[in-house]
Amino acid sequence: MSQIPHFISTEPFDAEATTAAGSVVSERHAKASQARLIWWRFLRHKVAVVSLAFLAVSYAAILFVEFLAPYELNSRHTDFIFAPPQPVHLFHDGSFVGPFVYPLNYTLDMETLRRTYDEDRTQPLPIRFFCKSEPYSFWGLFSAETHLVCPPEGGTLFLLGTDRLGRDMLSRIVYGARISLTIGLVGVTLSFIIGITIGGLAGYFGGWVDATVQRVTEVLRSIPELPLWLALSAALPLTWSPLLVYFGITLILALLDWPGLARAVRSKLFALREEDFVAAAEMLGASPRRIIFRHLLPNFMSHLIASASLSIPTMILAETALSFLGLGLRPPITSWGVLLSEAQNIEAVALYPWLLLPMLPVVLVVLAFSFVGDGLRDAVDPYQH
Partner 1 sequence: MPHGQAVRAQRRGASCFGAGSFLAVLGLAIAGFLCALPAPAKAQSAAEPKSLAAAVAKGELPPLAERLPKVPRVLPVDSACSAEDLGGTLNMLTGSAKDTRLMPVFGYARLVGYDTSYRIVPDILESYQIEDGRIFTFRLRPGMKWSDGAPFTSEDFRYFWEDMAKDPKIAKFGVPPELLADGEEPVVTFPDEYTVKYAWGRANPGFLASLAAATPFDIYRPSHYLKKYNPNYTDPKKVEAKVEKSGQRNWVALHFKKDRAQRNDNPDMPTLQPWMLSGELGSERLIFTRNPYFFRVDEEGRQLPYVDEVALTISNPGLIPAKVANGESDLQAAYLSFPNYPFLKRGEKRSNYQLRRWESGRGAHVALYPNLNAKDPVWRKLMQTADFRRALSLAINRKDINQAIFYGLATPGGNTVLPGSAFFDETLRSMWSTYEPERANQMLDELGLKRDEPDGLRHLPDGREMRIVVETAGESREQSDVLQLVRDDWRRIGIDLLIRESQREIFRNRIKAGSTLISVWAGIDNGLPNADTDPKELVPSTAEQLEWPGYGMWVETHGTGGEPLGDSPELAPLKRLIDLRQAWKATLDETEKARIWREALKIFADEVYTIGIVSGVDQLVVVKDKLENVPEKGVYNYDPGAFFGMYHPDTFYFACPAVDTAEKRP
Q: DSSP assignment of 189-256, as one string?
A: HHHHHHHHHHHHHHHHH-HHHHHHHHHHHHHHHHS-HHHHHHHHHHTS-TTS-HHHHHHHHHHHHHHH
Among 22, 288, 331, 382, binds partner 1 (CB under 8 A): 331
Shortest distance (Å) from residue 177 CB to partner 1: 21
11 binds partner 1 (CB under 8 A): no
Q: Based on the shown chain and the rule CB under 8 A, indicate whether residue 112 belongs to the binding site for partner 1.
A: yes
Toward partner 1, which CB reaches closer, 99 or 166?
166
Per-residue x/- marks for partner 1, 126-165, CB under 8 A?
A: --------------------------------------xx
78 binds partner 1, rule: CB under 8 A:
yes
Specify whether the CB–CB gap between 167 and 77 falls below 8 A. Answer: yes
Tell me which of 55, 65, 69, 81 binds partner 1, using CB under 8 A.
81
Q: Which stretch binds partner 1 (CB under 8 A): 10-18, 108-116, 172-180, 368-376?
A: 108-116
Q: Which of 21, 35, 57, 346 binds partner 1 (CB under 8 A)?
A: 346
**Taking Cα atoms as reference points, which of 272, 270, 232, 274 lies closest to residue 254?**
232
Q: What angle do CA 166, 66, 177 make, to 5 degrees?
A: 80
Cα–Cα distances in Å, from 366 out to 254, 336, 363, 370?
18, 13, 5, 6
Asked if 345 is part of the footprint of partner 1 (rule: CB under 8 A), the reply reads yes
Q: What is the DSSP string of 7-23?
A: ----SPP-GGGGSTTTS
Please identify, using beta-carbon distances, which residue of 233 and 314 lies nearer to partner 1. 233
Residue 346 CA to residue 350 CA, distance in Å, equals 6
Among 1, 24, 57, 113, binds partner 1 (CB under 8 A): 113
Contact pick of 84, 85, 99, 166 for partner 1 (by CB under 8 A): 166
CB-CB contact of 135 with 145 (8 Å): yes
Beta-strand runs (E) in the chain: 89-92, 95-101, 104-109, 114-119, 125-126, 128-138, 142-150
Size of the site for partner 1 (CB under 8 A): 24
112-115 contact pairs (CB < 8 A, 24+): 114/351, 115/81, 115/82, 115/83
Our finding on whether 330 is near partner 1 (CB under 8 A) is yes
Closest CA relative to residue 329, chosen from 191, 203, 216, 179: 179
> Any bridge partners for residue 162, and if so which?
168
The residues, any chain, with a CB within 8 Å of residue 359's CB and separated by 6 or more, are 340
- Of 170-178, 185-193, 302-310, 339-347: span binding partner 1 (CB under 8 A): 339-347
Among 238, 243, 283, 284, binds partner 1 (CB under 8 A): 238
CA angle (127 as vertex; 123, 131 as ends), nearest 5: 135
With CA atoms as reference, report the closest residue to 195 among 248, 254, 251, 269. 254
Binding-site member from 32, 129, 347, 353 for partner 1 (CB under 8 A): 347
- Judged by beta carbon, residue 273 or residue 330, the one nearer partner 1 is 330
The amino acid occupying position 35 is A
Per CB under 8 A, the list member of 59, 61, 68, 76 interacting with partner 1 is 76
Residue among 344, 360, 363, 382 that touches partner 1 (CB under 8 A): 344
Nearer to partner 1, 313 or 328 (CB): 328
| 231 is an interface residue for partner 1 by CB under 8 A | no
Backbone Cα Rg of the chain: 28
- Residue whose CB is less far from partner 1, 178 or 330: 330
CB 240 within 8 A of CB 329: no
Among 134, 186, 326, 378, which residue interacts with partner 1 (rule: CB under 8 A)?
Answer: 326
Residue span binding partner 1 (CB under 8 A) among the ranges 35-43, 89-97, 330-338, 376-384: 330-338
- Does 235 help bind partner 1 (rule: CB under 8 A)? no
Shortest spacing between CB 221 and partner 1, in angstroms? 30
- Binding region for partner 1 (CB under 8 A): 74, 76, 78, 81, 108, 111-114, 164-166, 238-239, 326, 330-332, 344-347, 350-351
